[in-house]
Structure 1
Amino acid sequence: MILKASQRKGAAALAAHLLKGDENEHVTVHEIRGFIAQDVLGALQEAEMTSLATMCQQYLFSLSLNPPEGELVTIEDFENAIARIEKSLGLEGQPRVIVFHEKKGRRHCHCVWSRIYDAGHKLKAINMAHFKNKLFSVAKELFLHHKWKLPKGFIRKEDSSPTNYTLHEWQQAERLKNDPVKLKAFFQECWNGSDSKQSFAGALQERGYYLAKGDQRGYVAVDFEGEVYSLSRWLGAKKKELKAKLGAYEELPTADQARDFLQSRMQQSTAQLLAEKRALFKKRKKPVVQELRQLVNIQRKEREDLLERQRQRWVEETKARAGRFAKGMTGIWDAVSGKNAAIKAFNTQEAKTAHKRDRAEMEVMVRRHLEESRELHKTLHFYKDQHREEEWQLKKQIAGHINAATAPDKPKDSQQAIKEQLAKLESKIASLSGDIASLQASLDSALLSDDMKAKIRALILKAQETIMAEKVQKKREEIKLQETADAAKLMQLQQELYRSIQSYERLQQQQEEQKRQVAANTAFYARIQHMSYDLNGLPLYPLKVAAPPGEMFNEARYKKTLKRESNTSLARTVKTAPPKKKHVTTTGLKQSTLTVSEVLKRGKIPPLNGSKTTRTPAFNVKAKVKLSKIKAQPLVTPQK
């Protein structure tokens, strides 16, 4: 069993990591011991509060237990291993939290202890001296106890694999979609195959890595994506060894300078090519990932149902055990006679047996779930290994283009690539089984190995994806043609509607113009019909009125104007004969009538009586008429 441990702080961050459900398929809190809080976050924060009474900064001791791949390890095996570790490190009786994680078809365990203990008069922290050596001894004992295959590094430390990576190296490689073993082997190959700084830098540059100096560590390598790799960590070499071969790191460019240089030589098509490759891998593994997520949801529901059934059964069994004790005087007699002690011992043994039974039921379900998810993870690992190999080769090509400052070849059309893959897959499938159905049936055969089943499943998924892609493409083309036809028909209907609207607007304008002309003629005709032709003896002249009529005549205003005129002006106006054969408007006739009326009024000549049927002869305009003097009245402007 591989044991990894560290002293640390940060209770909240560690609790979030232990309860992370997106990276782990199943998370089970197995035990919380020695804390008042009954949840992981509360327990670790309680340890943090306790450490404030001491000078200890790293108050937690975190341990992970990883069994060998393919080995079945029970809960009791993990508990026994934790008990051995506690005894070896002096952590017996310390508050602890145990959490199980399940992912990728495997189960591992995390155990976190609080280092703070009560020394009688004050709180102290347990000294974890040489804990790595002690854990190495315990891990070797566990391998021998379970008769597992002992790694070479446990037999002889010098024989340990040089490509063994740490947690930090694995996290960095996983973030960059690289294989940590292959990446570490590459750095060590460049280091072992070089004898100077120039040869080592040239070997790195062939893969797109440039030698530089870091901010915190002396010697680093920078790739074309801007990621920084610590050479002392990835090479497993000390600073003294690096300095002996590479010289002083102050002479190297900084990591920022190397990153800027690589970005300046990067073509846009280069980054696009790498992004398309990763997008294709994501699309390729999507069906398997979706199937895995559905499987995990089903498994979680099964476990919840099992826990609920066990809880209800435990309540019923507890009531049955409590019912075995008598009440009243009989109960007192049973307590005195010792019968209650026998019943209590029997109940205790029965409760332990029930607890083991429930744990065994859950263990059977967990093993079945691990076996189910392991099959899907094999297919997923096949895709991931294939993608890592393709990306590793692609990065080598990109490094060559960066060194030569050229752009890579334009990738093939995705549809053309899919057709080529389909042709290859069809030939492979035909050579293996003849069709997809029989190939799927071959997966149930026990003669095939797990790796072969994973490869066959990958071939089936690729073929199904390609067939589905062709169907989707054909459907898209049909939809596009239908949309084009609908758009043309819609355009034609819109043009017809536009022409109809224009015709309607023209007819509406013509109708409005006709209505306006009719209204104007009607108003003019009404004015002519109601006009008075009584001109008080003035000769009648032929009337001819221009259409449309002019502005309405204001009779009251004109009368006020006449009152301001002098007698001489009025007499001259009346005595002046109008020109012959001259057409005048009705407004002019009305003005003449009002002028004559004003003259007659000033001459004190009575107006025509309306009751008479005969008209009084017109007076002689040449006769002298004595007008009464009327003082002209000035025009008074009304005040606002």
Structure 2
Amino acid sequence: MVIRGNSRGNGSQLARYLTTQGDNEAIHLLEVDGNTHATAKQLHDTLLSMSLMAELTKSAKGLYHAQINPAYGEDKAMTDTNWQQAVDILAKELGFGGQRRAIVLHEKKGRTHAHVVWERYDYQTGKIIDTPFNYLAHDRARQAMERVFTQQQTPVKNNRQPELKEQLTEYWNNTVTATEFIKAVEQAGYLLAAGIAKRPFMVVDDHGRSFDLVRQLKGINTKAVRERLGNIGLMPEKKAIAQIRERQQAHAKDKATSSPQKPKNRDLSVLAHEFTNNKKSMLAGEKKKETIKEYTETRETIIQKQEQTPTGTVADKKMAATKDFAENKTQTLSREDRKQALINDMRQQLRDYQRPQSRDQGISIGE
């Protein structure tokens, strides 16, 4: 499907164009400002009044004229209701919902397309409705129409098309029979298909996009292709596209199954949290070990002082050792900014050191 459109003026000239037979095989006034049985004069008067409303503003273009062109063959399935629905879709994307409009169907060379004209003047705001980036609105409407009416998706620009042309031309020149050519094309991941009307031979690439085969063959005309492939029964274009897409889905499924699963974000956060906790525990453990080492060295110093004391009873020695230990401990805590708990009982601490207990924060040396 192709949609084109732009702002314009001169409603009288546009009305004459839409109602002139010319190359058209048939003209059908589908709707004129809500009237489904309008005449050519009513169309003329309506478009003239629409364009004249622009004189209330600074704009000279009071109309928006668009064309809706379905692909060959798909226009036959469009009913009057479908055409009106298509116009509604385009109006929504362009911002013309609720505006006065006229719909005229032209049949030319066996294919029907629609002309639609909207009034740009907004009676509520007293301003002209602007349509910036209208080509993007056309594309959004085209996608919606193809989805609603289950029509073939219009191929997007393919940056690999030059490569496709080179490959297909090489396959054509290096083969003689239709079977050889078809086999070479299929081995490259493509499929040949039967088109319609002026494009009888199509090629579908590995992304499910279809192209006119003749246009992909450099220096080869339709007659030469017809002579080689004319007697070969090719599958319909839609069936070939469906096969390619099924192949893509199967390949993606196999790839997902065979590829190792990467950790999810949640798993990574859990691992990071556990690593942080473990690191904190290790640091706490190292700090406790340093404290125990310092405690042991202090204890050895006190014992040495006890052994060097020449006089005094055992009780005096114990009291002196306890006093020395407390003084030394206070100095140590001052250096550690009082981060460690006070050690109240030297003998109890020694027993704890001999049977350390493991906890989440490291090794505990006190109750």
Band the TM-score falls in, shorter-chain normalisation: 0.3 to 0.5
Q: Which has the higher strand share?
A: 2
Name the structure where helix makes up a greater proportion of residues. 1
Report the TM-score, using the length of structure 1 for normalisation.
0.24
TM-score with structure 2 length normalisation?
0.40
* Greater C-alpha radius of gyration: 1
